[in-house]
Structure 1
Amino acid sequence: MSTSPDTLDDSPTGAHTRRGTFGEGERVQLTDPKGRLHTITLGAGKEFHTHRGRLAHDDLIGAPDGSVVKNTAGVEYLALRPLLSDYVLSMPRGAAVVYPKDAGQIVAMADIFPGARVVEAGVGSGALSMSLLRAVGDQGSLHSFERREDFADIARGNVEAFFGGPHPAWTLSVGDLVETLPGAVEPGTVDRVVLDMLAPWECLGVVGDALAPGGVLICYVATATQLSRVAEAARDHGGFTEPQAWESLVRGWHLEGLAVRPEHRMHGHTGFLITTRRLAPGVTPPLRKRRPAKGAYGEAATEQWEPEDLGERPLSEKKIRRVRRSVTETSET
């Protein structure tokens, strides 16, 4: 007798939440006739209300993915299970998230493979952690470091809600990467390092010690100044290959009859990506033909950076407490 994939005990973590009928406690994405999206968490006896009627959650519980349901006013909604890209943009957040277009670039360009040993620093709300866990699988490992305990709680709640529980490959530590990484991993055993932080150049020493020869370091930074600092720090370190940097821009297209054209709005700059690889011990990188001019950096380059320096809006402690409480309560239920 054959066994349904849904019932296999050895199915990958989170696979059971990505197929089958809708269940209680599951997040569902509703699309109305005008294309507006609404993400709800299903609960028995609950209702979804708008100014154009109400929709009973019980009409969705047990329904197959891709169903169409009507509310009390006869308005039809398309119900779909949110994709990972949908989920990270609608989930509770404290810090800003790494957008799907950049997460996809990180997974591909850093060559995050099944079974890889990955270190991530700067967890934020957990958006990138989900993509990395998907890539390494149950047999890999992702060790994430976050300085702020409240951000770590938000990230843990979001990740566990998406995968339907704790992921066996994930370890989340609260602390500074420079101080905690040496005691957390053996030197030369990490395959990939992903840094999403204000000053990643400060971590290149411990990252270089942790990476295996040929291992990849990829950094996500917001400004050209940060990009330059990371590149020069990697060159000065002497144990990395020549860094490469880029950004990705995504422009959607309007498709309606013969009116096929680019959208008026697009996802522009979100951040820069810069990648380099660890050289073997004792290897000296080839001499670059050109070096930056002396005095390229002023005194401001040595100052401590704050999120506000990069144009980020300061996060109120009240908002962080509210989001932290909401994801904690959701994960407990």
Structure 2
Amino acid sequence: MPETTPAVPSPDVPREAWSGVHRGPLRAGEWVRLTDQKGRRHNFELTPGKRFFSNRGHLEHDELIGRDEGFTVVSSAGGQYLVFRPLLSEFVVSMPRGAAVVYPKDAAQIIALADIFPGARVVEAGAGSGALTCSLLRAVGPWGRVTSFELREEFAEVAKRNVDQFFSAPEGETHPAWDLRLGDLKEGLPQLEGQVDRVILDMLDPWSCVDAVADALVPGGIVCAYVATTTQLSRVVETLRVHGGFTEPQPWESLVRDWHVEGLAVRPGHKMIGHTAFLVTARRMAPGEKPMRKTRRPAPGAYGPDYTGPRPADLPPLPEADAGDAVTTDAVTDEA
């Protein structure tokens, strides 16, 4: 039988790419993800001389360092573990948290439907625990710019540690495209140099900064809001709609369901990632330009006397008895 020629080791991903990914043998200082036979996962940093402990015994870190990822090891008590480097989607759901994280299914939608591209200038509010920040930084690359605003100092510190850990930033450094700022987006956005391509709003009241976002976005730029409740969804959509400087807002949510596939047994799985948040996108019109108005009539009662949110100026007026309760938006629509 002919001898097998050893595979030529693949070179590591260039450091200047800041991808958060490594090729080749596992190295000291890298994080690994161990998965047992029941699907339980453990993440830790490889440190020479240390041990990993679980209810199935222990493993020596030195047994893992120097091996190519994608292998199985057996602990001192006979437990089996699959060893890989963690993917970004795995890292963000297991990393330390300050604020709740943007789940991978929503981060993927934001990257795709807000069209985050290499070299883009992106503003994010707020940074939270840094989950979405990692995806944004990977998408814009080292030649783009992600400016993250965070109101709470303790959240900003957690976000910085997580982002630096994922991208293996050397001590005292961080991703070259990242600018983390402690403060309010509404105050900080007008102080940025030049306009930006995308604004991502992960905050309680994204409607409160629509005017500032409109001023900061380039024509054709995209605003994307991430909100948890239908009340927030309605408020941000209607505020963008009546502003007059954005295209018709597009709201949606994504639901992810796993499937069981085993021979003839092909059926939906028993677990699902359901509602996590609603997403809304809209594009900035050129200065002085107005979007086309919807030709379809609103549903009966949509803007009736019980509705107290922003009211599009082209709707028929409410009966005089109810007009005092409505929010007028004529002045707002002229600000675009």
1: CA distance between counterparts of 2:13 and 2:133? 26
State yes or no: 1:172 paired with 2:180. yes
1: CA distance between counterparts of 2:303 and 2:80? 63
Equivalent of 2:227, from 221, 225, 229? 221
2: CA distance between counterparts of 1:92 and 1:61? 24
SS in 1 for 2:233: helix
2: CA distance between counterparts of 1:194 and 1:8? 29
Task: Give the 3 Å change call, closer, same or farther, for CA 270–255 of structure 1 in structure 2.
Answer: same
Structure 2: tracts of 5 or more residues without a match: 1-7, 310-336
Aligned to 2:76: 72
Aligned to 2:211: 205
The one-letter amino acid paired with 1:193 is V
Aligned to 2:19: 14
Higher relative CO (Cα under 8 Å, sequence separation at least 6) belongs to 1
1: CA distance between counterparts of 2:54 and 2:11? 37
Aligned to 2:117: 113
Equivalent of 1:293, from 303, 309, 317? 303
Equivalent of 2:200, from 169, 194, 211? 194
The one-letter amino acid paired with 1:293 is Y
1: CA distance between counterparts of 2:13 and 2:207? 47
The one-letter amino acid paired with 1:22 is L
Equivalent of 1:279, from 272, 275, 285? 285
Q: Which has the larger radius of gyration?
A: 2
Offset at residue 84 of structure 1 (A)? 0.4
**Does the CA contact (< 8 Å) of 2:11 and 2:24 recur in 1?**
no
Q: Which moves more between the two structures, 236-245 or 290-299?
A: 290-299
Q: TM-score, normalised by structure 2?
A: 0.83
2: CA distance between counterparts of 1:97 and 1:228? 22
SS in 1 for 2:25: coil
SS in 2 for 1:172: strand
SS in 2 for 1:251: strand
The one-letter amino acid paired with 2:233 is L
Aligned to 2:28: 24
Q: Which moves more between the two structures, 23-32 or 95-104?
A: 23-32
The one-letter amino acid paired with 2:270 is H
Structure 1: tracts of 5 or more residues without a match: 300-333
Give matches, 1:219-298, under 5 Å.
219-289=225-295, 290=297, 292-298=302-308
**Does the CA contact (< 8 Å) of 1:14 and 1:164 recur in 2?**
no
SS in 1 for 2:133: helix
Aligned to 2:162: 158
1: CA distance between counterparts of 2:14 and 2:291? 49
SS in 2 for 1:49: strand
SS in 2 for 1:125: coil
Q: TM-score, normalised by structure 1?
A: 0.84
Offset at residue 38 of structure 1 (A)? 1.4
Give matches, 1:24-63, under 5 Å.
24-63=28-67
1: CA distance between counterparts of 2:9 and 2:273? 43
The one-letter amino acid paired with 1:236 is V
The one-letter amino acid paired with 1:96 is A
Name the % identity: 59
Offset at residue 221 of structure 1 (A)? 0.5
Greater helix share, 1 or 2?
Answer: 1
Offset at residue 45 of structure 1 (A)? 1.5
Give matches, 1:314-333, under 5 Å.
none
Equivalent of 2:133, from 129, 136, 160? 129
